[in-house]
Structure 1
Amino acid sequence: MNNNAVIAIVEDDENIRHLVEAYLHKENYRTVGLGSAEEALEFWKSSPPKMWVLDIMLPGMDGYELCRRIRDEAEVPIIMISAKDNEVDKILGFELGSDDYLVKPFSPRELVARIKRQLERWDKLGQDGGLDAGKRAEEMKIMLGRLQIMPEERRVFWDKTEVELTSKEFQMLKVFAEHPNRAFTREELLSYVWGDDYFGSDRAVDHLIKRMRKKIDGLPLESVWGHGYRMREGQVQV
């Protein structure tokens, strides 16, 4: 893990922002503090950070919209922080692509621990790069009827038309495509996509499924009454 990577802290409360940065500096992380989403977008254009920590309640554009814009174009870890502790707020954060959600007031040490965990997880995902990446990407391609998934490039095609998905949508679709006709419980899907340490409602799964169905018209993803969901179509070719 590279502790020299820049972590962007987007928080309009200077006291909180400076406190978080101070704790991260003790762990030898480099940080940039930004007071608004608009400042963050300007910074992003010239110096994309390794990771984002986003407050939800910001002046102007809120953290939800900033998270959505980042996730639409970049695969980097995102942690959202907020005084909002309602389940619906957490679910919305995860749906938009956040990897973790921490409620204020929080311990700066806990935030640092979560940051470390996310960076380690993302670094592990990127450790398989190499000269034969193109060949490996072709070998890993997943074909399921009209659906095509390219895991190395994190791209999805439906009827040869590319579909833009959030990180969570991509992860869940990949799970289904790798296990056609298998019925998954909501708890299993939460574990696969959000991780074993997620403590929110399983309604997050329902919301994500709804979004996937809306984006991919005709996706053979069906509800299994009293159990969960499955994708029923053909066999996967890898």
Structure 2
Amino acid sequence: MKHIGIVEDDSNIQNIVAAFLKQEGFQISLLSSAEDGWELWKKNPPDMWILDLMLPGMDGYDFCKRIRKESNVPIIIISAKDEEIDKILGLELGGDDYLTKPFSPRELVARVKRLFKRVDVMLKHQDVDDDRLKIGDLLIYRNDRRLFWNGEEKEVTTKEFDMLLLLAENMNRAFSREELLIKVWGDDYFGSDRAVDDLVKRIRKKIDKIPLETVWGYGYRLRDKEEDK
């Protein structure tokens, strides 16, 4: 039974969302503040979070950042803030999906199921140990910094390897260009984010048919095509 933590200070929304999710067989924990959510995380971490942004005390943005420092557990953000900048910020901080209030509880349930399916597919197809990471046709040896596609070794640069390893370790998660700059080039890099686009072009040229997708207006992700089946 999947455990979902709902961090929402509106009791009506809490109860409605919980009722729909319980009907689908999910175990639910209701939290009215991010502080309560953090206590739950330390004691009995959920398999997914449904998170409001506007909370008393610690807000949803800070809570999302805290969780992301420790885990890639799925996070669905629900918020009355419907400006594009709010959605982008929520996704940049690590949210996997964003739903604007008011919303249909059935739509939320559908998104929860789809996100769990995506995670399950990733785990099913991911063969990983301390050194070896295999997802579909992609095989990476971390320690030797070697990369294989369809059984053929590919010669890649340091940055190409670092980006592919990051994306493969976070399959299906979209990274913004700014986030990729920090994680691959370092937070002291002062160049343009065009460096990310250029690196992706080189990777695509070297590795034909690799499912490295553009998230328009945002960044890139490595997509597991099995999630759509």
2:119 corresponds to which of 103, 117, 122: 122
Given the alignment of the two structures, is residue 136 of structure 1 paired with residue 154 of structure 2, yes or no?
no
Shift of 1:64: 0.6
User: Within 5 A, what are the aligned runs for 1:5-154?
Assistant: 5-128=2-125, 133-134=129-130, 136-137=132-133, 140-141=140-141, 143=145, 144-147=156-159, 149=162
Change (3 A) 1:83 1:141: same
Give the match's secondary structure for 2:194: strand
Q: Which whole-Å CA distance do the structure 2 matches of 1:218 and 1:140 have between them?
A: 26
Higher relative contact order (Cα pairs below 8 Å, separated by 6+ residues): 1
Shift of 1:230: 1.6
Q: Which whole-Å CA distance do the structure 1 matches of 2:184 and 2:131 have between them?
A: 31
Q: Which whole-Å CA distance do the structure 2 matches of 1:24 and 1:207 have between them?
A: 35
Shift of 1:76: 1.0
Name the TM-score, length of structure 2 as normaliser.
Answer: 0.68
Q: Which residue identity does 1:107 align to in structure 2?
A: S
Given the alignment of the two structures, is residue 215 of structure 1 paired with residue 186 of structure 2, yes or no?
yes
The answer to whether the 8 A contact 2:182-2:189 is kept is no
User: Within 5 A, what are the aligned runs for 1:165-204?
Assistant: 170-171=166-167, 193-194=173-174
The answer to whether the 8 A contact 1:141-1:149 is kept is no
Q: Paired residue for 1:229?
A: 197
Aligned sequence identity (%): 42
Shift of 1:208: 3.6
Q: Which whole-Å CA distance do the structure 2 matches of 1:115 and 1:173 have between them?
A: 21
Q: CA RMSD in A?
A: 3.5
Shift of 1:129: 5.5
Q: Which whole-Å CA distance do the structure 2 matches of 1:172 and 1:127 have between them?
A: 14
Change (3 A) 1:53 1:174: closer
Shift of 1:120: 0.4
Aligned length: 186
Q: Paired residue for 1:159?
A: none
Q: Paired residue for 2:211?
A: none
